[in-house]
Amino acid sequence: MMRGGSLPPTIKQRIRAEAHGKTPSVRRSTTAAALAAATAPSASPSVSGVAESDRAAAIAAAVRVGAARREMALAA
């Protein structure tokens, strides 16, 4: 696993950037960020009444949906 959730740019990102005279930046791994946020202890107890495990599961599901949408957009 890469440190800090950074990923190298995809080939498509690299080609697009070079076509416009720019350099591609690194990608951020939203999965790593979501997992870090979900596992980090919160400063205050949950006031919404939602269990922390349910919250973590919802975050993980949202990350998977977002990743799938990005993949579909790139494939189009």
**pLDDT per position as a tens digit, 6-21:** 788 888 888 888 888 8
Element (H, E) at 58: helix 52-75
Q: Give the predicted TM-score (pTM) of the model.
A: 0.31
CB contact at 8 A, 10 and 32: no
pLDDT tens digits along 39-65: 666 555 555 666 777 888 888 888 888
